[in-house]
Each structure stands twice: as C-alpha cells, then as structure tokens.
Amino acid sequence: MFLLDDLLIKLPMKGLLSIAKTIDDMARNELTNVDKIKEDLLHLQMQFETDQISEEEFEQKEAELLERLNLAREWQEQ
C-alpha cells in the first residue's frame, strides 16, 4: 500500500515541485539579469531617439527599468 501511495501521490508531486522550482529560477534570472536590463535600456533609448515612443512613455519605462536594475544589483550582492 505504501508503494502505491508513493507512485500515485509523492512522485507526481515531486515532479510538479521540480517544474515549479525551475520556472521560478528562470523567472528570477530573467528579472535580475543586469545585462538584459541594460540592453532593454539601450533599446528604449533607441525607440525614443527614433520617435517610436513619446517622452512621457520613455521616462516612465526608464524609471521602471532603472528600479529593476537597482533591485537586481542589490539581489546579486546578497
């Protein structure tokens, strides 16, 4: 009976938890990748300089990216 419980309950849960942890790790890496954030800032600057976005939109997105950059640097220091 315990073997059956392991096969039907514990193994699928372990697999599901493993997948969730992998997704969490990938999301954290994406959000805290300093090089990616800098690349996004450069792309944003290019969009503004080529009049693809307004100054208001640029300032708002720039503030968000700079905040993300600061948080990523703090997180990496820990």
Q: Using pLDDT thresholds of 50, 70 and 90, give the confidence band for residue 1.
A: low
The pTM for the full model equals 0.66
> Which one-letter DSSP state was computed for residue 54?
-
Short-list 26, 25, 27, 68, CA closest to 44: 68
Which tokens hold the place of 67? 């905040």
Ordered by start, the domain boundaries in the chain are 1-31, 34-78
**Least confident among 3-7, 33-37, 57-61:** 3-7
